[in-house]
Every structure is written in structure tokens, then in C-alpha cells.
Structure 1
Amino acid sequence: MSQAILSLKNATIYQEDKVVLSNVNLEVNRGEFLYIIGKTGSGKSSFMKTLYADLPLTEGTGHIVDFDLETLKENDIPFLRRKIGIVFQDFKLLPDRSIQDNMLFVLRATGWSDQNEMERKIEEVLDKVGMKNYAQKMPHQISGGEQQRVAIARALLNDPELILADEPTGNLDPQTSVEVLDVLKKINGNGKTIIMATHDYALLMKFPSKTLKCEDSKIFEVVQRTV
């Protein structure tokens, strides 16, 4: 098994017919924590969408969690997404069912069938994000920060090799953002690779890590200035 969990070579990322990022060369090793920064519209989300195959990679080569993005077939996409946990800015919890049932929905959709195994797994991931006692709550009964913790737990259900977090603190206040980042950092400390798109520079200062910037259709590493 190679060390690189993600490798892009001479990749060009398109949104419809428009070039968003060109000549992307990037390697992310297992266990890394990587920030993607840049202004709104600079290509962060298109970059993330390419990684979980919401946008096709039509130019250059790309490998992610042992899948080839260039030759990926439509019916491979669900299998790719089982190896990747995705955390969105707007949580994407189903509002008509409890936290427990949100989790069950994902497990059933990804091929789980044993009820006891499913319940054990749900308890395990909720415990990891400090939400074990909230399983019977409805999404509207918990705060935004708690909903994002649940969304992170949901991303862990299939024990993914890689977590993609697209502006996970974008809808949260600064204190809650720090708490959510703390959860992600702990998960990373347990060996999970995390790529996080953000424009929250305060978080970068508080939790420094390798950082890539999207600007002028390019993506490049930036060195954080330390005071």
C-alpha cells in the first residue's frame, strides 16, 4: 500500500467548461492534516468535488484511496465514497428523523444490515465526537456545533481512510468552530487523513498545519507565518 492517499499530476479541474484550477500537482500522505484556503470562487469546493467524484477529472491523472479518478466509472462512485467521509458546511442532516435514524439511513444505504452491528457502530462514532447521549434527539433540538459534530460522526461510520471537510465551520461562531476543529484534530491524531477547505484564518493560527492556497487558477503550498 502506497503512503500517498491522494495523488494528482498535471490535473486541470473544470466547473462545466470553465477552468477552475490548472496544472495541479499534489501528493497527500496517510495521516496528514491539510488545509485548503482561498477566497470564495477560487476553486476550493470544485477541488473537493473532484476528489469525491462530484466533478469528473478529465485532464491529468488522479488517484485517491486506491481509485483512479481518470478512469472512474459511474458505478464505482458509491464504493469510492465509502472510503471517504465527507463533512459539509450545512451539515446535511435529514430533518425528519432522529440523530440515530440519520446514522441508520447512511449505514443501510452503504450495505449494512445487522441491526446490532449498526447500533454498536453508531454508538462508537457518536462517542468519538462527544454526542453519545444525543442519539434520540432531532436535528432541530441541538445547536449548530452539535449538528456538525453529528455530521463528523456520520462521516466516520464506514471507517473512511480520508475525511474531506468542506468549510465545516462556515456556519458556526468562533468558539464553536474551535470546538469542531478540536474534534477533527483528535480524529487526525488517531491516524485519519483530513483535507479541510476553509477561509477561517483564525483557526489556521490556532491549529497550524500544512496549507495549500487556491488563487489565480493555481493551487500552491503556503508557509504560515509564525509570530
Structure 2
Amino acid sequence: MSEVILELRDVAIYQKENLVLSEINLSISEGEFVYLIGKTGSGKSSFMKTLYGDLPLTQGSGNIVEYDLRTLKEKDIPFLRRKLGIVFQDFKLLPDRTINDNLLFVLKATGWTDKNKITSRIDEVLTKVGMATKGFKFPHQLSGGEQQRVAIARALLNDPELILADEPTGNLDPQTSVEVMKVLQDINKNGRTILMATHDYALLLKFPSKTLKCDGSKVFEVVQKNV
């Protein structure tokens, strides 16, 4: 049996007082690649934010990478996020520093101190996403697809147990989206668990996998052909 990385039971998700999603029951096991689909405004982002501690879980029970979301304290959130790799739609790279320095910033912020280990880790993750020769460049010198590859590399730095990718291809053209998907697929084949929110149905058809859908304030698993 592979280990359960994420489990939610009878969860309801609120934005302030507004109920966004209710009666969520799901589990994701180690090594799975899971899509989260749904229209804009259906609650995908609120769902993701709850998983990485941006929205508190106030109803139901939730465990993610061995953290209890109901009892999660403010001070625990940085430690939770070290076990998660988060990839955003808009890359969130720091524009005033090179790619290497973007990655260095994250490692230092998460407690890395050994210069040699830092350098070799940065080389390693950039190589994984096909960006080994681009570390000296600034974000604005890269295409959108290249910036997203760097954002994926950044998510891999601390060897996360689960990668949460929130619309990672949302700002990319179809060809580049496929390239970025292939990077994510390779990472998944190497044993990483990935939960990816998307509204790009072409990707689901091209790379079918377990799919959860946000609709009518619920989250449920859908059979691919019914998507």
C-alpha cells in the first residue's frame, strides 16, 4: 500500500464567512498524478490555499504530508510548505535577481547554509527541468515556458512530498503547455505526487490521469470520458 499523502474528511472550505466548497472527502496517495478541474470561480484556488495553509481549515478533518490542517499553527506553516512544492500560474519569480539567486533565496530562507550543497542542489533542479544553462539570466530574459520551468525547479528544491501546481499552464500557449506538462510528468514518474489545478481540458485528454472536479460547491472524482 502506498502512503496517503493527503486526506480530507467532511471538509468545508470558507472564504471569510462565505462557504466555497462543502462535504469534501478525498485521499491522494504517494506517487499519484491528480488533476483538479472546474470553471473559474468554482473554488479550485480556495481548495489549493487550504492545502498550503493560506486559508484555515475550520470544518472537517484534513491531513497533508503528516500535518493536521485543523490544528495547524501559524508557526508551522513554513515547515508545512517545505514539504510541499508550490507552482503558481504567474511564476512568482523575483524580478530583481538571476534565476540562480531566486533559487538561492528559497534555500537560504528554508535553512540551507552549506555553499557547496546549495550550488549542487540548484544545478540539480535546473538540470531536471532542462534549464541548466540559464541560471545566470534574469526572469525577464526568459520566455513564459522557461519561467514556469524555473518555478517548477524552485518547487523541487526541498525535495517535497507533494507538489501543488495551481494552473501552471494558465499563462502559456498550447505548445509550451505541453512542454511544461512533460516536465511535470517526468517528475511524477520519478515518484513525486502531484496535484494540479487546471482548466485546460486539452491537457487532460493528452495526459489522462485521476481527475477531481469542483462543481456546485462539491469536489468529486470524475471518470475521464465524462470530463
TM-score by length of 2: 0.98
Alignment correspondent of 2:102? 102
Which secondary structure does the structure 1 equivalent of 2:22 belong to? strand
Q: Where does 1:29-44 land on structure 2 (aligned, <5 Å)? A: 29-44=29-44
Which secondary structure does the structure 2 equivalent of 1:132 belong to? coil
1:2 Cα deviation (Å)?
Answer: 7.0
Query: Which residue identity is paired with 2:26?
Result: L
* Alpha-carbon distance in structure 1 between the residues aligned to 2:187 and 2:168: 14
Identity %: 73
TM-score by length of 1: 0.98
CA displacement, residues 20-39 of structure 1 (integer Å, 9 cap, x when unaligned): 11010010000000000000
* Alpha-carbon distance in structure 2 between the residues aligned to 1:137 and 1:46: 33
CA displacement, residues 158-214 of structure 1 (integer Å, 9 cap, x when unaligned): 000000000000000000000000000000000000000000000000000000110
Residues 225, 149 of structure 1: alpha-carbon distance in 2 compared, 3 angstrom cutoff: same
Which secondary structure does the structure 2 equivalent of 1:155 belong to? helix
Is residue 117 from structure 1 mapped to residue 135 from structure 2 by the alignment? no
Query: Which residue identity is paired with 1:4?
Result: V
Alignment correspondent of 1:158? 158
1:15 Cα deviation (Å)?
Answer: 1.0
1:126 Cα deviation (Å)?
Answer: 0.2
1:225 Cα deviation (Å)?
Answer: 1.4
1:41 Cα deviation (Å)?
Answer: 0.4
Which secondary structure does the structure 2 equivalent of 1:220 belong to? strand
Is residue 178 from structure 1 mapped to residue 178 from structure 2 by the alignment? yes
Alignment correspondent of 2:126? 126
Which secondary structure does the structure 2 equivalent of 1:116 belong to? helix
* Alpha-carbon distance in structure 1 between the residues aligned to 2:84 and 2:186: 17
Alignment correspondent of 1:50? 50
* Alpha-carbon distance in structure 2 between the residues aligned to 1:143 and 1:202: 22
Which secondary structure does the structure 2 equivalent of 1:212 belong to? strand
* Alpha-carbon distance in structure 2 between the residues aligned to 1:155 and 1:50: 18
* Aligned alpha-carbon RMSD (Å): 1.1
* Alpha-carbon distance in structure 2 between the residues aligned to 1:16 and 1:175: 38
Alignment correspondent of 2:79? 79
* Alpha-carbon distance in structure 1 between the residues aligned to 2:13 and 2:31: 25
5+ residue gaps, structure 1, are: none
* Alpha-carbon distance in structure 1 between the residues aligned to 2:162 and 2:27: 13
Q: Segments of 4+ in structure 1 off by > 3 A?
A: none
* Alpha-carbon distance in structure 1 between the residues aligned to 2:127 and 2:3: 29
* Alpha-carbon distance in structure 2 between the residues aligned to 1:141 and 1:2: 41
Which secondary structure does the structure 2 equivalent of 1:50 belong to? helix
* Alpha-carbon distance in structure 2 between the residues aligned to 1:224 and 1:2: 23
1:153 Cα deviation (Å)?
Answer: 0.1
5+ residue gaps, structure 2, are: none
Query: Which residue identity is paired with 2:134?
Result: Y
1:128 Cα deviation (Å)?
Answer: 0.2
Query: Which residue identity is paired with 2:208?
Result: P
